[in-house]
Amino acid sequence: MSHASTSVQDRPVPTPPAPVSSLSSRTLPRLAPLGFAVVSIALGVGIGAAAGWHSRVQWGLLSALLFLTISYVATSVVENKRQAKDRLATSLVWVCFLIAVVPLASLLWTTISRGSERLDGYFLTHSMAGVLGPEASGGVYHALIGTLEQVGIATLISAPLGLLTAVYLVEYGKGALAKAVTFFVDVMTGIPSIVAGLFILSIMLIAGLEPSGLMGALALTILMIPVVVRSTEEMLKLVPNELREASLALGIPKWRTILKVVLPTAIGGIATGVMLAIARIAGETAPIILLVFGSQLINPNPFEGAQSSLPFYIYEQYKIGEAASYDRAWAAALVLIAFVMILNLVARGIARWKAPKTGR
């Protein structure tokens, strides 16, 4: 204690010159980080090419490391240790961001460039009936039908259920039941898709049911409900209480208030949530493997017989392991990503367009 207090008392004497010097001290120009980045990328690529490393991953990692070192050293030489640490943190955060963008860019680029080779009208309108793995023919039509039907059924079941649950949690929910539902909705979001598949499978084993599109849709329902509940709940909470109170004050019963005032106000956000949930389950493969079995043929009946689905089709074609089947897998991946991304974009567009006007 005494040591600390003396140091505090001592400090005023030596410090006065310091601020003066720091105000006039040298600082790096604003564009210096950009320069560091260019230099380190050039060095990384140069060294990588000179040493003959095949993988660009190594080049990138070396450049990132060089960038961090150069900016730290340069700043600590020109400015001071504290600024250098600050610069290091800034550089690190930028590097983190770039590291995350690289895989996304690579994934999208590969899917688009490899997928567009095979994607055409023929691919979208033909099934795999009678097509052998190595043949460069066949299409995705049966899988498209399967995905649309399975996702459609799952949405028809889980949208109303999720909506009602969210209404219960926001408008009525009090006490232990609501708390339990909230907690388990959260936990349910984390159920692995394969476990949802196994659950329906165990029911099938007990009840002696055959695999069909419906079974897959039921597993997808389990995955979809918590997502719908969560997003709808958030949206309902955004509806200003004044609207509810105004409606109730006019003598309108609570259920009509919810149906005619609360839900219409939040409808944009609810639609967004449902569409994002659809986008999420459309890409699920694991339950389909267990419950729908996959088929090469067009089966428009989701209640009987094996079906296919887009993600399952990708997996199936990948496993064949021929050049032609890889092409088909990439093309189907492009179709699936396009479907999911368009849903995402439209959903977010709706969210922006129909955002509930909060009291501001």
Return the residues of window 231-260 that contact other proteins according to CB under 8 A. 251-256, 258-259
- Count CA within 13 A, CB hemisphere, residue 80: 7
Q: Least distance (Å) from other proteins to the CB of residue 127? A: 19
Query: From the list 116, 189, 210, 237, which residue makes contact with other proteins (rule: CB under 8 A)?
Result: 189
187 Cβ neighbours under 8 A, 6+ residues apart: none
Q: Least distance (Å) from other proteins to the CB of residue 173? A: 8
DSSP assignments along 23-57, one per residue: HSS----TTHHHHHHHHHHHHHHHHHHHHT---HH
- Residue 190 touching other proteins (CB under 8 A): yes
- Residue 229 touching other proteins (CB under 8 A): yes
- Residue 64 touching other proteins (CB under 8 A): no
Three-state SS at 283: coil
Query: From the list 47, 171, 261, 354, which residue makes contact with other proteins (rule: CB under 8 A)?
Result: 171
Phi and psi at residue 293, to the nearest 5°: 75, -25
Report in angstroms the alpha-carbon separations of 5 from 1, 14, 17, 18: 6, 16, 22, 21
| Residue (82 or 301) nearer to other proteins, CB | 82
Residue from 235, 333, 319 nearest 277 by CA: 235
- Residue 58 touching other proteins (CB under 8 A): yes
- Residue 131 touching other proteins (CB under 8 A): no
Q: What tokens were used for 173? A: 């929910």
96 Cβ neighbours under 8 A, 6+ residues apart: none
Tokens 């994934």: give the residue.
107
Query: From the list 97, 117, 210, 297, which residue makes contact with other proteins (rule: CB under 8 A)?
Result: 97
Residues 269 to 328 in contact with other proteins, rule: CB under 8 A: 279-280, 282-286, 289-290, 311, 314-315, 318, 326
Query: From the list 93, 129, 238, 246, which residue makes contact with other proteins (rule: CB under 8 A)?
Result: 93
Q: What tokens were used for 63? A: 């450049």
- Residue 18 touching other proteins (CB under 8 A): no
- Residue 46 touching other proteins (CB under 8 A): no
Q: Least distance (Å) from other proteins to the CB of residue 329? A: 6
- Residue 168 touching other proteins (CB under 8 A): yes
Among the candidate windows 119-127, 136-144, 175-183, 350-358, which touches other proteins by CB under 8 A?
175-183
320 Cβ neighbours under 8 A, 6+ residues apart: 133
| Residue (20 or 104) nearer to other proteins, CB | 104
